[in-house]
Chains A and B, each alone.
Chain A
């Protein structure tokens, strides 16, 4: 039934023209945005890294003892301390004169909320660590509970929609502003829908000396309630609605943004996701919340000047353009 030639996959894996920091066989859900994002990060970072990972989906689905999907040195301690563990590794490497780069991986829980203190301390002390937050906008590993990163209006098991509530009451914590207030040399957001941009930002962050921060929007088909095949298309909409701006900041100043070529209404983003479906109901409360979400998106667009005047190769329409024969994926 298979239309492909019979091949020796083990041998083939050794011939892949990219570094595979995460091996196949991990237990991520089908279509997991975080698994994809983590794979892309390590591709760009290469093998000479040490990864400290906070508790969360990524940690759980990659390390069921005695199996591990990690091909790089990796340590998981607790939920709230990955920035501090990474800081310790970095300090030790510096004392030993080693140039291996240190990456901290955490979900939005381990970054926005419980891990925030350690992150802030690490940034303030100027450790040479790249902190990567895989933002799926809720505590997914524990069963879809709201986090500081959950968007306004989103359903989670601790912010469900019902007769008197329309999902999360509070807003998505503006983490990038908080991070940028630390004045670190490089902070950026990226999306799995734009993998070339994501990888370029990893390389740029590693080029920087001192702390750097990446916020990677990573859809969760299970928690967001969309089809596993829609992970990329949903995230493209997150960018094109303005709800998740793609920015780069240096020392607190926005130096570049991915312009939106064809802005899309928030309704289009809400439609494929169960967590926003209640906003599409025909009730005054739902309509009001949807309008509110639209206003928040519009505010982002205005604040970061996200509309493009003319189409360009790095805007939301051009940044994922394919090139025949590959090698567009820098």
Chain B
């Protein structure tokens, strides 16, 4: 009959007219065509990469933009328990790295962080994530500054019992001495209280080395986290001379905070280029000094140096405000000589100077022939702090910081961990918070005998991975600040954003590397191989790929505005 005997028997029978039934194309699994497949892959955003506290910024901005402030705050405090503090005092490197800055204006992330922090305080929200499985181990944390508080908080979230030792009567660490115009004390206190209220056993007035010893801690606890900060003023002298009434900058700020008054100087010179120096200078102006100078051998932030000088480590906007308020900053200068009369300073001699790094050590050079005289009633050094070796001397091993190994322990130790300003890479509150979180994770891994991945995190998503065709330029939120004329007292200079404005601002976020739930992939797939799962119970992601039909054309990845889709070779 002419039938091809090699053909397999066909189960399909023809019909009159040759019609086909709807949707029967699904029998054709076109996914077999693929050479590469799309994956929904969250990549770190640059802001997350830059944030020392490793906040999941696009996640909480998304919640905020979608009018879910509670979820936003809960996502934020999964990393950082002190957002109202950091939202005020952090120099926000997130904003500098924000990709939106290469498009129109960087997002005012700190405004969002601050808004959420303040809202949570106002609403009395408690931290989520504290109802996990309790663990039997107890951990000691030494130092109730932001690093210790963060470590204690994250350990509580992991279920551990935590005892927090603090030398001073109050928790808060160096944050306490930040002036009110930057950080109102009440804000700090309430956030600190909230952390302590997570069930931390707080022991104030217990100084390591005086009231408790390392050995006692090692004996009484499964692990120890040291965050003593840098309590010792770096010594300062000018050619071995010192004014008789020497006050260090940090001590004066502490005095202002605790006592509420400062010695009266008509004119003052503050030595140093950090936040302490700048804060003190601005405080002195507010408490009655007529003329306040800051002397630093570095350059103003944001000003490129012709001779390769370093930059003042103080936060740029604080320096700018200081200048606005009338602080006179002498950059690239050192004090060459104190001009004393009967042990009191009446003037200083300034010289052009340079600070260079030779390897790890700074070298200071001053150039004769450039001397000028500056009259003053006080010279106040604010030249940095060092780790106080009391109680931890053997751990320091003659180094300026506690050196850590990759698994988080202090070098040479098994159960003693450390972080904050006492370990390398500190200096910011947000760094301290991140350091405390980091330490808590390492302690948890140690106690569970769990392997922790020590790989460096993937690089943040580059600007070129975004598809800007899907965004339009929008006006940015500008935080309101008190005009200079109004900054006579200690009222906060910057205001918290209003809810509607911060929501709009949060919506400007590109969500770099994260899903915007914009529906682009779902809309643009020619093969209907993207299924929308947003809002379907039990499925934690908003879209999935149907790999039975995805041909790997790559359109979804190309048209994802936030670079959340990656093409990967077919396994």
Contact = CB atoms under 8 A, between A and B. Distances in A.
Instruction: Let me know if chains A and B touch directly in the complex, using CB atoms closer than 8 Å.
Output: yes
Interface stretch (B24-32, B73-81, B197-205, B212-220): B24-32
B33 A67 contact: no
B65 A71 contact: no
Nearest to A233: B558
A24 B526 CA distance: 9
B30 A25 contact: yes
Given A7-B539, A33-B526, A328-B518, A68 B22 contact: yes
Nearest to A326: B519
A324 B549 contact: no
A14 B23 CA distance: 12
Interface stretch (B123-131, B303-311, B382-390, B466-474): B466-474
A4 B544 contact: yes
A22 B546 CA distance: 15
Contacts of B571: 1
A320 B26 contact: no
A283 to B, nearest CB: 32
A209 interface: no
B334 to A, nearest CB: 52
Interface in A234-276: 236
A329 interface: yes
B258 to A, nearest CB: 47
Contacts of B554: 30-31, 227-229
B22 A70 contact: yes
Interface string B523-534: 111111101111
A68 B39 contact: no
B516 A322 contact: yes
B551 interface: yes
Contacts of B143: none
Contact of B552 (A30, A325, A329): A30
B468 to A, nearest CB: 10
Interface string A1-34: 1111101010011011110101111111011110
B66 A325 contact: yes
A260 B211 CA distance: 74
A192 B525 CA distance: 11
Contacts of A227: 554
A187 B471 CA distance: 29
B553 A1 contact: no
Interface string A302-321: 00000000010100011011
Nearest to B567: A229
Interface in B9-34: 12, 18, 20-30, 33
A115 interface: no
B536 interface: yes
A28 B528 CA distance: 12
The contact size tier of chain A is 35 or more
Tell which of B471, B516, B518 has the most Cβ of chain A within 10 Å.
B518
Nearest to A62: B25
Interface hub of B25, B41, B469, B470 (most chain A Cβ within 10 A):
B25
Contacts of A311: 472-473
The secondary structure that dominates the A interface is loop
A32 B472 CA distance: 27
A228 B539 CA distance: 30
Contacts of A230: 558
B546 A24 contact: yes
A35 B238 CA distance: 79
A231 B555 contact: yes
A66 interface: yes
Contacts of B544: 4-5, 7, 9, 12
A196 B264 CA distance: 68
Interface in B40-64: 40-41, 62
Contacts of B447: none
A323 interface: yes
B536 to A, nearest CB: 6
B299 interface: no
Nearest to B471: A321
A153 interface: no
A63 B20 contact: yes
Contact of A232 (B12, B20, B26, B559): B559
Interface in B157-212: none
Tell me which of A5, A65, A68, A326 has the highest count of chain B C-beta atoms within 10 A of its own C-beta. Answer: A326
B547 A2 contact: yes
A69 interface: yes
Question: Considering residues A1, A22, A69, which has the most beta carbons from chain B within 10 angstroms of its beta carbon?
Answer: A69
B472 A12 contact: no
B470 A322 contact: yes
Contacts of B520: 322
Contacts of A236: 469
A3 B555 contact: no
Nearest to B544: A4
Contact of A12 (B37, B519, B533, B547): B533
B524 A65 contact: no
B22 A27 contact: no
Contact of B26 (A17, A25, A35, A36): A25
Nearest to B26: A25
Nearest to A4: B544
Contacts of A35: 526-527
Contact of A2 (B39, B540, B561): B39
Nearest to B27: A67
A195 interface: yes
23 contacts: A2-B547, A4-B544, A4-B545, A5-B540, A24-B548, A25-B28, A25-B30, A26-B527, A27-B30, A28-B526, A30-B552, A31-B555, A39-B526, A68-B23, A69-B23, A195-B523, A229-B554, A231-B526, A236-B469, A322-B516, A323-B518, A325-B66, A326-B517
3 tightest A-B CB contacts, nearest first = A229-B554, A25-B25, A30-B553
Given A65-B20, A325-B518, 14 more contacts: A2-B39, A12-B531, A17-B532, A31-B526, A35-B527, A66-B24, A69-B23, A221-B553, A227-B554, A231-B526, A322-B516, A322-B518, A322-B519, A326-B532
Interface of B: 12, 18, 20-30, 33, 37, 39-41, 62, 65-66, 469-473, 507, 511, 516-520, 522-529, 531-534, 536, 539-541, 544-549, 551-555, 557-559, 561, 568, 571
